[in-house]
Chain A
Amino acid sequence: MAESYTLKLRRYDPESGEPAYWSEYEVEQHPERSVLQGILDARDQEDGSIAIRCSCRAAICGSCGVRINGTSALACNTQLGDAQAKAGVGKPIVVEPMGNMPVLKDLIVDMDAVHWKKIQRVVPWLLPEGDPPEREYIVPAEAMIDVTQSMACIQCGACVSACLALEVDPEFVGPAALAKAYRFVGDPRDGQHEERLRDLAEDPHGIYDCTHCFACIEVCPKDVAPMDQIMRLRRRATADYDIKDKNNGYGHEHAFVNIIERYGTLHEAQLLPRSFGDGSLIRGQTEPAAVKQLVESLPTAARGLASGKVSPRKALLHPKLPDQKSVRRIFKEIESKDERLEINMYIIGDNADDEEGAMAEGSQES
């Protein structure tokens, strides 16, 4: 049954010389229809000058990225009923242009200036080694399914809009472009894995500029999970290629892991100095940049002591877990495996347990 919705749109007409303003539109629509449909209804029936990019209506073309009640999303796969529920009873559904990109008109942002520039930054095409084979490249079936997750990206920019690192560092390569980078690093046909990883590890705005906030994962309409792809880039850079970057990404990870292996719990007082010594316990090869950062962090550590929250003794001596041996055995057992065991929720879904049964049923019938 059709219901009445109030859409509050952020309007901006660059030709008017006026700043952006809000306009409200009443539309009658079914709750399961999309916010995009609501906006198009307003445009069709009331004001033809409302500008929004849109095309497929089915969340595959990536045109209609906006912010709905503050959350980045595609207007076409956000239902009016859900948007109303989020907005709250009696309140309008608020629709704004995406964040982190300049607004051109109404709900249209300049994706070229931000999003596409960053995509171009990661050398977004396959760089195979040597001439192609006569027929197809022979590659593991799982590898192609695996990179399909990042291939599924429709370049809508929702993650760029929501990215909390980009908000403070506009130079950050960003979630969409880094997911795109994984699409090549995860592709066995690409011959430049190490070069790509080194490039993005050494860039101060590369893989070690992601603040791990999950905002991109939360808003991605295609389950690309850009942050997960960034973490996989880090994993490959450190574990597969041993890339000791000047941003201390490698050092931080190794220091952390080593401390847990040794003590079982985190020992922050050791984390900083060790991070800057590429994670080794005593004689780290410390990069000049790392020394600078270490020095910068000293006042903070000193304040920790001064506030009385940390005693000097505690800062230096970290107690081991009572059964740290067990933790260390786990480390040894797993880290000595030839291949890292990873499962991807994108592929197996939430409930692979149940699905074993479903699969068996399916195969019986066919």
Chain B
Amino acid sequence: MKLAYWPGCVSRGFTPELHGSMRLVAPKLDLELVELDRANCCGAGVIAEHNQELVDTLNARTFALAQGVEGAVGMMNICSTCQGAQSECQQRLDADGDYRREVNSHLADEGLAYEKSAEWWNKNFLWLLVEEIGLAKLAEKVVRPLEGVRVAPFYGCYIVRPTERLGFRDHPNRHKYLDILIEILGAQPVDYAGSHKCCGFPLITMNRTTSLRQAGRHLADAIDAGADCLVTPCPLCHLNLDMQQPEAQKFVERDLNVPVLHLPQLVGLALGLEPKELGMDKHVVNTGDVQRKVRELAAA
């Protein structure tokens, strides 16, 4: 399956282990990724807050670049925030022809234009796994079922709300995909209060207390529900849940210390890749316990 691939800014910046693990997982799933190296930031909700036409144009540009990838069946992203921010722009672009033409006029210089099409899509790796690759096919490829590993899903707001914009009408189970995947990979999904809540990242520079209380609370809930680790399809959530975790501890006044995996890392482990090559040593919160469990599985 050939895909236009938008890794997003954070996976190429502060979470290189995400980008790296996706690169290793793709061939194992027969995905041919054509990276959109000329594409720009999705705006992460912030440019939308600043100027709607600007953010719609920037994403129309990304879509146009993706539509230009010969033979690609669609566009894949690996960031819940990109998914949400881009879906929001796409909704506006698709709703109004006059508006779309105005936006495309800014792209004409580069010879680009976004074309509305019922066939074209932009999907997060999470959605792609379930809807395009398929659970049965994925299950066949699992060589190391992650038995006994208790994984708490953390979706990220942008990929679960608002449901109407995010295509839940056609795919009503999108809010359950992580749970389903965890099971398919042989691990045990952990049911806890925070799975669909906010990691607090959008507030980190504006209201650190609210932000880190959110991160801390959800991590604590996951720990209390028995999680060995969390998994998220969103690198921004990862920043607040992993990188900020030592700080978040202070706001909930307890020790946390629970690793947070990127979705491609979890998939990679089940497909037989090693923790080190998946960048699991590059986390702030030590992933040693999870690595140990996986090694024991391999030994068994």
Contacts and interface: CB of A to CB of B under 8 A. Distances in A.
Interface residues of A, number: 78
Determine which residue in A253, A266, A296, A297 has the highest number of CB atoms from chain B within 10 A of its CB, and name it: A266
B13 interface: yes
A366 interface: no
B186 interface: no
Contact of B40 (A214, A296, A327): A327
Interface of chain A: mostly helix, strand, loop or mixed: helix
Nearest to A294: B205
Contacts of B210: 165, 168-169, 172, 209, 211
Interface of chain B: mostly helix, strand, loop or mixed: helix
A296 B51 CA distance: 30
Interface string A221-248: 0000000000100110011000000011
Given A164-B197, A213-B197, A253-B50, A310 B14 contact: yes
B200 interface: yes
B149 to A, nearest CB: 22
A133 B24 CA distance: 69
Given A213-B157, A257-B46, A303-B284, A341 B58 contact: no
Contacts of B232: none
A335 B51 contact: yes
Nearest to A311: B16
A340 interface: yes
Interface in A246-275: 247-249, 251-253, 256-257, 260, 264-269, 271-272, 275
A343 interface: yes
Given A214-B162, A330-B106, A272 B205 contact: yes
B205 A265 contact: no
Contacts of A334: 51, 53-54, 57, 106
Interface stretch (A23-31, A44-52, A104-112, A349-357): A349-357
B73 interface: no
B282 A326 contact: no
B21 interface: no
B207 A208 contact: yes
A240 B97 CA distance: 28
Contacts of B43: 260
A297 B203 CA distance: 13
B50 A276 contact: no
28 contacts: A169-B210, A208-B207, A211-B198, A211-B214, A215-B198, A231-B45, A231-B48, A231-B49, A234-B49, A239-B50, A247-B206, A256-B47, A257-B47, A260-B47, A266-B13, A275-B205, A276-B205, A293-B205, A321-B38, A326-B109, A326-B110, A330-B61, A334-B57, A340-B53, A342-B53, A352-B97, A353-B94, A356-B97
Interface of B: 9-10, 12-17, 37-41, 43-54, 57-58, 61, 84, 91-92, 94-97, 99, 102, 106-107, 109-110, 116, 157-158, 161-163, 197-198, 200, 202-211, 213-214, 217, 239, 243-244, 246-247, 279, 281-284
Interface of A: 164-165, 167-169, 172, 204, 208-215, 217-218, 231, 234-235, 238-239, 247-249, 251-253, 256-257, 260, 264-269, 271-272, 275-276, 293, 296-297, 299-300, 303-304, 307-310, 314, 318, 321-323, 326-327, 329-331, 333-335, 337, 340-343, 345, 348-353, 356
The 8 closest A-B pairs by CB, nearest first: A214-B161, A266-B9, A213-B198, A168-B213, A309-B282, A212-B202, A213-B157, A265-B9
